[in-house]
Amino acid sequence: MKRSDPYDALSARLPRTVATTLHGGDVTSVGTRRFAAPDRRATADAEPPSSAGAGLLLTGALAGLGAVAAGLVILAALIGLAWIVEPAIGGSVLGPGRLSVQAWLVGHGADVAAGGVLVAITPLGLSALLAICCWYAACWAGRRTQVDSLAQLASVLGGLMVSYTAIGLGLVLLGATSGAEIGFGSAVPGIVALSGVVAAGGLLRTAGHGRLLHDLSSFPSRAVLSGAGAGALVLSAAGVSTVGISIAVDRAGFATLTESLAPSWSAGLGLFVLSVLLLPNAALYAVAVLLGPGFAVGAGTTVSAFAVTLGLVPGLPLIAALPDRPAVPLGALLGLAVPLLCGLIVGVVVARRLDDDLSPLPAAGWAMAAGLLLAAGIGLAQWLAGGALGDGGMASIGAPPVATAVVAAGVLALPAGLSAGVLRRRYLSRRR
């Protein structure tokens, strides 16, 4: 009599698949098949790539809309407050709105002709305010989409730039009135450049791809950029300090200009906001003086470390920072040492961030590269800070960008290379 197998009775009561498994099948394969079915369903129900790409573009477009709206709201609040206190500033209730739009465009480098006067100078403080709005909008889009590749990041950036630029073009048409003309050709490059550069930085920062770009670069990008950034901070602080000291020296002239231009407290508040927005421009002009070439305020006034010519200037409180006499101030001559010190700092920062086994000569070369990069940035900043007020004597305001960049290249690169080479040599000698 055949002996019964206890598994035979159990297999008769179970489905065939489970029974086959009990008689020698693979239990793991059954578990795998059971848990693989939901994965296949999830994959089948997932959104196609085109749909995901459309979502990235839409998020970028919403971020661009938010960046424009935030900038306009801030400007409308400032101008609206001024209009409430001084109704003549904006005329009718629509006046503050048009002024807000025009200020937004001026912050992007647009030329505005109002009342027969051409305003072709960009307050860099206003540009910085709009850049902050764009930066936070891009960071929001990066966190919202959780992009994990450069291709997805490019999709979000494209949607943001298209939305930002399209709204900006609409604002050009909205801001133009019978009494004001806005240069279309001057507005578009600034809108595209600000949205592209600032939003790309915000997305890279949020997505964590900044380190990836450093790792993929074939040169010590961290050291070079850190050195250039440290030098930029030193020169910026020196420029702001120079403006502050110059105004403090001529406190009486500053007070006289302020009282004549703003007899009431409301007008004084508006003049203060305008001065703050123009402070980065004035600081860059001061940097040009420290480097040597100097700057011009119209056709009759030039200020440099070697010569001063005084003429008619616009009535602004920051004008009090100009010398009262055609003699070269002693502080301007002493300030020529600031760029040299800045170059030494650039070299020190680069040398400390390079690999430990790098020899002094390559270290000096990379420090000089950081100095040249900083000089190119100074030339670009001087070009952005310059401009014109009208077509007459104030048709040229600012420092010469090319001359300033060339002088900065020599003044910054050589000390940077020297300090980096010496510091690297001392470090290697201590290791031995």
Digit-by-digit pLDDT tens for the chain (432 residues) are: 444 444 444 444 444 444 444 444 444 433 333 334 344 334 434 445 555 678 889 999 999 999 999 999 999 888 887 777 665 555 566 777 888 898 999 999 998 887 777 888 899 999 999 999 999 999 999 888 887 778 888 999 999 999 999 999 999 988 877 677 888 888 999 999 999 999 999 988 887 666 656 666 667 888 899 999 999 999 999 999 999 988 888 888 778 877 777 666 667 777 888 889 999 999 999 999 999 898 988 777 888 888 888 777 777 778 878 887 776 777 777 888 999 999 999 999 999 988 877 888 999 999 999 999 999 999 999 999 998 877 666 778 889 999 999 999 999 999 999 999 999 888 888 876
The closest of 339, 340, 363, 367 to 426, measured between CA atoms, is: 363
* Residues 296 and 353 occupy one common structural domain: yes
* Residues 20 and 88 occupy one common structural domain: no
Number of domains in the chain: 3
**Alpha helix segments (H runs only) across 324-400:** 330-334, 337-353, 360-385
* Residues 212 and 229 occupy one common structural domain: no
- The model carries a pTM of 0.81
The closest of 166, 331, 182 to 247, measured between CA atoms, is: 331
Which pLDDT belongs to residue 14? 43
d(CA 60, CA 8): 64
* Residues 16 and 60 occupy one common structural domain: no
d(CA 77, CA 129): 14
Using only C-alpha atoms, the chain has a radius of gyration, in whole angstroms, of: 31
- Residue 291, domain extent: 221-432
* Residues 84 and 104 occupy one common structural domain: yes
d(CA 400, CA 386): 8
Order across the sheet with 117-119: list the strands: 117-119, 112-114, 180-182
Q: DSSP for 3-42? A: PPPHHHHHHHHS-HHHHHHHTT--HHHHHHHHHHHHHHHH
* Residues 359 and 253 occupy one common structural domain: yes
* Residues 96 and 130 occupy one common structural domain: yes
Order across the sheet with 302-303: list the strands: 308-309, 302-303, 295-297, 397-398
Which pLDDT belongs to residue 287? 95
Which pLDDT belongs to residue 16? 46
Residue where the block lists tokens 């739009």: 101
Residue 327: exposed, middle, or buried by beta-carbon count in 10 A (0-12, 13-18, 19+)? exposed
Q: Is residue 271 part of a domain?
A: yes
Which pLDDT belongs to residue 112? 86
Q: How many helices (H) and strands (E) would you count in the chain? A: 16, 7
* Residues 380 and 422 occupy one common structural domain: yes
* Residues 239 and 340 occupy one common structural domain: yes
User: Is the Cβ–Cβ distance between 359 and 424 less than 8 Å?
Assistant: yes
